[in-house]
Amino acid sequence: MRCNTASWKPRTGRALQRLLAGTARHSATGLFIGATLLVFVQSYRRHLWFGSGGRDLGLFHQSVWLLSRLAAPRNTILGMSAFADHMELIDLVLAPSQWFWPDATALLFVQALAVASGAAAIADLATRKLASRSTGVALGLAYLFAIDMQHAVMFDWNPTTLAAGFLPWVGWSFALGRRRVFVLALLGVALCKENLVLHALGLCLALGLEARHRPSDTSSSPDALARSGVRSCAAPSLAAADAWIAAVALALVFVVEMAVVFPLVRAGGFRHWRYEELGATPGAMARAIVRTPGRALALLVTPSEKAAGILAPWLGTAFLPLLAPRYLLALAPGLLERFWSTHANRWWGYYYGAPTVALLALATIDVLGQLAACAATPPSSRPGGLSAASVRSRSFLPPRFRRGAVIVLALLVLVCTLAVSMTLRGGPAPLLAARYGHHASLSDRDDAVRALAVIPADATVAAQNHLIPHLSARREIRDLGRPIVADYVALHFGQGTWPFAPGYPQALARQLLASGYGVGACFGSAVVLQRGAPVRPCQALGL
């Protein structure tokens, strides 16, 4: 693919042109580096201070670690194969990372790279399509600081968050005619989870419709691009047929996974149908939707707790994506999956809304491109008939005004994004917080590190939720559910007890001490019980 930059007159700034072009070229790179550092440092700090949990970071890390040892991903936290829970085939791709970095931190770093690359793709695509570095950086930052994206990266690790980093590359590669990148990006999304196949399918449908209605002219002339220091790519975007073919292939993948693969790896097939208000099976759900469509629509917004999850991403984009209704095809799977569900965790927080952020970012770029094109074309010529050169020569609004209007709208999106992330449900912005209430104190953290150090790497372990990710590089790691069958039991009485009731770890410790366990380590509130060890003094246990 050959890219070229329109040249200025040699005497009036060829050196300046090269400088501006280089700045534009590196703005997305700078955003990628900065976003990687921010996301990784913040998520790692959360993990370092025992804020991460067994579900999800611990269980996903054990699956990836087992695959890196060429073992079946029989996840002992879940009590089943990882692939019986979700079709997270991306674990196979990530397994080699555990050969040289056998720690849950490696997954956090990969997640930071994926999300940061998504921000860079959004920034670069917006810069190219809208001929403005400022617009590109603003929209890239809006993607990064969207409240749902911040929730995702600050909640452990999940393949859904990876897919939210891959989806922008689907739009980027389609717009720039990069067929190989387009296929690889779709493959990456499809490998993350079975439900994300539908997000990619919907995006392909939206891109196909966009390609069908694409005007022969573009909103950014070569002169405008040159004045902005932006490299324009001469190659056309992919055709609608590419999107249709990809959508058909993704539909087949989804059907095969749900109807064939899941029943092979788990009796009863897919286990995450949590739509009791509609029906226990896909067939029952479909019948309920057809017979009572009004009730089905009402379920999307009731109970009222769903409102924040629905409105937050749209508020962050100032509702601009509504002007690109074809992207509703891409957004529909996530909307229906989350808000028809009776699983309240899907409505707000965690990682569930991250793909929506990526899709809304692509829709926003599309809308700003349409607005710029409308401003560039006289109303009488918009139905068609004039050549591209004729349209450019009769510009309806001056190029500088068009670029300024687009920049203002992009900055509005960024301001709305930051306002939502800092104010909705009390703030502060999760990715910018210096410390969280669930972080361990310095003394508690040091005590936990010293206690966990006594557990052998090959030992079977049961551990409290926030300790699991620090012990998950082993074949057997479980939570504290009875009966306890592990040789070592890691407890920390200063940490939260989820998913068990307060006081459960202390009661469990007393029971284990009376049934053959002794004290393997005791540092402050951190205790390790060991099968067959002697019972020795431990203040935390009252001994």
As beta bridge partners, residue 529 has 489, 519
Do both 427 and 519 map to the same domain?
no
Do both 366 and 464 map to the same domain?
no
Secondary-structure percent of the chain, ordered helix, strand, coil, rounded to 5: 60, 5, 30
Residue with tokens 């929209």: 139
Residue 219 has what pLDDT? 43
Regions in the chain scoring below 50 on pLDDT: 1-13, 16-17, 19-21, 216-224, 226-228, 233-234, 382-395
Look at residue 476 and tell me if it is in a domain: yes
Do both 446 and 372 map to the same domain?
no
Number of folded domains that form the chain: 2
Residue pair 480/500 in contact (Cβ under 8 Å)? The answer is: yes
* Pairing of β 461-463 and β 488-492: parallel
What are the distances in angstroms from CA 51 to CA 44, 114, 210, 438? 9, 22, 43, 6
Do both 186 and 129 map to the same domain?
yes
Assign 445 to helix, strand or coil.
helix
Look at residue 48 and tell me if it is in a domain: yes
Look at residue 457 and tell me if it is in a domain: yes
Residue pair 78/177 in contact (Cβ under 8 Å)? The answer is: no
Do both 422 and 446 map to the same domain?
no
Stretch (H or E) spanning 90: helix 90-94
Do both 427 and 462 map to the same domain?
no
pTM of the prediction?
A: 0.89
Do both 301 and 424 map to the same domain?
yes
Give the phi and the psi of residue 387 in degrees, each rounded to 5. -75, 165
Q: Which two tokens stand for residue 388?
A: 């591209």
Look at residue 91 and tell me if it is in a domain: no
Look at residue 60 and tell me if it is in a domain: no
Do both 289 and 152 map to the same domain?
yes
Look at residue 7 and tell me if it is in a domain: no
Do both 320 and 446 map to the same domain?
no
Look at residue 295 and tell me if it is in a domain: yes
**Distinct helix (H) and strand (E) counts, the chain:** 23, 9
Do both 425 and 463 map to the same domain?
no
What is the residue-wise DSSP string for 304-338? TTHHHHHHHHHHHTTTGGGG-GGGHHHHHHHHHHH
Do both 151 and 198 map to the same domain?
yes
Residue 393 has what pLDDT? 42
Do both 156 and 284 map to the same domain?
yes
* Pairing of β 232-233 and β 80-81: unpaired
Residue 217 has what pLDDT? 43
Distance CA 265, CA 84 (A): 5
Residue pair 172/140 in contact (Cβ under 8 Å)? The answer is: no
Look at residue 307 and tell me if it is in a domain: yes
What are the distances in angstroms from CA 40 to CA 48, 147, 157, 192? 12, 17, 11, 20
Residue 466 has what pLDDT? 95
Q: Which domain holds residue 454?
A: 442-541
